[in-house]
């Protein structure tokens, strides 16, 4: 077991060194946006108050540190940032290995699932290499997954462990706000009294948000306002629906205005309104579903493995629900579910492999230029082959959502 773990760790390092040596050939948010932000801050422009900064506060040190190293004569900003994310990924990968081994020990099952999961994670990073170290997405859901792995720890003090779990959730929220609804199912997994759990939640939140709130106070609302006003992004499911309809109506057109490049027209307007209503309703439905699945936890009858499986499953469901109902979606978002699928304790090896194939299909379609359809060639009536191809960006999401929503929680541990 230990030798194989070491082999997979070496394979992981080799694969990521290859990713570092093969950056994307064209566009990168790191060189286009992140370095610009870091330079603005270095020369006196305050985030949120003087700079319209679109991300929450935990991203500030991540974006600023590579420039500090650059200014000291070590490397250049772009490569420094990529190496920074690589170093953080080592921590994420180590946590994933720990979580996989612990969950298999609790279930007393064979290790084939562990090797398949680690292989999937390594391959996913290679396939998505043009986005893997080019943004915040890996750290975003990697930090959340580490928090879930904390649930498997047995020897840690119960209160301290819960503070750690909450801190990692609040860290993910402080990187990108979208994980905030997961606080509700996490609260259901409490092992402490209501008073102590609320205290652990509060302490974990203060550890992450305390300094930013003191420094920026109400100015933090800037990033919320920024995203609230954003139109539907070019890669969103709603945009795809607009494009399918527009093949027949010819009423819409795309604005060449980054970063969203939205479709505009009567259909786009109605779909945007539908998304503005549908996404909150989807989140509400998710919260209700998570309650029905997790209402037994406060009784203390279910163990740490059941809590771990539940939280990872809820996060997977929430991710695909957000993809299908939210107005913002782009290629790097596929990185979100990779650590979650890696560490999820599948009951059946066939379902595990099917999920990995679906995930790699989506990643291949959205992060590589290799799976293409003939441009401007009609498949039937007015629908081009590119629209058929793009349907497979979303069909696997629906399948995965259906699969994980139908799973009944495990009772181990």
Tens-digit pLDDT profile for residues 125-161: 999 999 999 999 999 999 999 999 999 988 778 899 9
pLDDT in tens, 323-378: 999 999 999 999 999 999 999 999 999 999 999 999 999 999 999 999 999 988 99
- pLDDT exceeds cutoff 90 at 94: yes
Q: Is the pLDDT of residue 411 over 60?
A: no
CA–chain centroid gap for 368, Å, is 18
Cα–Cα distance measured from residue 135 to residue 7, given in angstroms and rounded to the nearest whole number = 28
Please list, in sequence order, all residues whose beta carbon lies within 8 angstroms of the beta carbon of residue 144, skipping any fewer than 6 positions away. Answer: 168, 169, 171, 172, 179, 182, 315
Alpha-carbon distances of 101 from 6, 77, 265, 303, 355, rounded to whole Å = 13, 36, 52, 17, 20
Distance, CA of 171 to CA of 60 (rounded, Å): 12
> What pLDDT is recorded for position 220?
85
* Residue 396: how many other CB atoms lie within 10 Å: 18
Of the chain, the end-to-end C-alpha distance in Å amounts to 21
Phi then psi dihedrals of residue 409, to 5 deg:
-60, 145
Q: How confident is the model at residue 205 (pLDDT cuts 50, 70, 90)?
A: very high
Q: What is the mean pLDDT of residues 173-178?
A: 94
pLDDT value for 326 = 93
What is the distance between the alpha carbons of residues 94 and 288, in angstroms, rounded to a whole number?
33
Q: What is the pLDDT of residue 107?
A: 79
Q: Is the pLDDT higher at 300 or at 66?
A: 66
Q: E-strand spans in 169-301?
A: 253-254, 263-264
pLDDT at 412 over 70: no
Q: What pLDDT is recorded for position 307?
A: 94
- φ, ψ of residue 271 in degrees (nearest 5): -65, -40
Provide the pLDDT confidence category of residue 293 given band limits of 50, 70 and 90. very high
pLDDT, residue 257, reads: 83
- For the chain, the domains span 2-405
111/233: higher pLDDT: 233
* Separation CA 166–CA 197 (nearest Å): 10
User: Is 379 in a helix, a strand, or coil?
Assistant: strand
Exposed (0-12), middle (13-18) or buried (19+): which is 323, by Cβ within 10 Å? buried
Ranking 153-167, 294-308, 314-328, 366-380 by mean pLDDT, the lowest is 294-308
Per-residue model confidence (pLDDT) at position 4: 86
The pLDDT-based confidence of 22 (bands split at 50, 70, 90) is very high
Nearest to 409 by CA among 290, 282, 321: 290
- Please tell me the predicted confidence (pLDDT) of residue 413: 53
pLDDT computed for residue 1 by the predictor = 63
Q: Looking at residue 151, what is its pLDDT? A: 94
Write down the pLDDT at residue 361: 97
The confidence score (pLDDT) of residue 260 equals 85
Query: If pLDDT is split at 50, 70 and 90, which confidence band does 301 have?
Result: confident
pLDDT digits (tens, 9 = 90+) for 55-82: 999 999 999 999 999 999 999 999 999 9
Confidence category of residue 217, pLDDT binned at 50, 70, 90: confident
* Residue 191, pLDDT score: 87
What's the mean pLDDT when you consider all of the chain? 93
Give me the pLDDT at residue 410, please: 60
| Cβ–Cβ under 8 Å, residues 342 and 101 | no
- pLDDT of 32 reads 87
Helix axes 237-249, 304-325, angle to 10 degrees: 30
H helix or E strand, kind and range, residue 378: strand 378-380
pTM for this entry: 0.95
Confidence of residue 296 (pLDDT cuts 50, 70, 90): confident
């Amino acid at each position: 077991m230990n030798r194989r773990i070491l082999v997979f760790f070496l394979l992981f390092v080799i694969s990521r060194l290859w990713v570092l040596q093969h950056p994307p050939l064209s566009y990168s948010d790191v060189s286009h946006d992140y370095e610009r932000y870091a330079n603005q801050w270095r020369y006196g422009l305050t985030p949120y108050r003087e700079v319209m900064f679109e991300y929450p506060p935990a991203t500030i040190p991540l974006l600023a540190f590579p420039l500090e190293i650059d200014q000291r004569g070590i490397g250049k900003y772009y490569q420094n940032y990529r190496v920074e994310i690589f170093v953080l990924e080592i921590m994420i990968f180590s946590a994933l290995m720990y979580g996989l081994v612990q969950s298999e020990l609790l279930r007393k099952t064979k290790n084939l699932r562990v090797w398949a999961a680690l292989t999937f994670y390594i391959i996913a990073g290679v396939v998505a290499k043009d986005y893997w170290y080019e943004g915040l997405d890996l750290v975003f859901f990697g930090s959340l997954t580490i928090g879930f792995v904390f649930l498997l720890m047995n020897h840690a003090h119960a209160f301290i462990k819960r503070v750690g779990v909450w801190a990692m959730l609040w860290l993910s929220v402080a990187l990108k706000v979208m994980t905030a609804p997961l606080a509700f199912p996490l609260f259901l997994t409490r092992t402490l009294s209501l008073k102590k759990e609320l205290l652990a939640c509060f302490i974990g939140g203060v550890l992450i948000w305390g300094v930013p709130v003191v420094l920026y106070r109400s100015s933090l609302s800037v990033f919320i306002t920024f995203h609230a006003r954003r139109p539907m992004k070019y890669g969103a499911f709603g945009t795809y629906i607009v494009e399918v309809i527009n093949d027949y109506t010819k009423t819409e057109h795309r604005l060449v205005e980054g970063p969203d490049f939205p479709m505009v027209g009567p259909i786009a307007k109605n779909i945007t309104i539908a998304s503005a209503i549908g996404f909150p309703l989807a989140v509400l439905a998710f919260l209700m579903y998570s309650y029905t699945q997790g209402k037994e936890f406060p009784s203390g009858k279910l163990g740490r493995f059941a809590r771990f499986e539940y939280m990872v499953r809820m996060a997977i469901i929430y991710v695909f629900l957000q993809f299908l109902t939210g107005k913002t979606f782009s290629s790097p978002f596929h990185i979100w579910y990779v650590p979650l699928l890696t560490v999820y304790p599948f009951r059946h090896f066939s379902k595990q492999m099917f999920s990995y194939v679906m995930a790699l299909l989506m990643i291949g379609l959205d992060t590589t230029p290799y799976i293409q359809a003939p441009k401007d060639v009609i498949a039937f009536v007015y629908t081009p082959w590119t629209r058929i191809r793009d349907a497979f960006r979303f069909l696997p999401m629906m399948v995965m959502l259906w699969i994980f929503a139908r799973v009944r929680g495990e009772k181990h541990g």
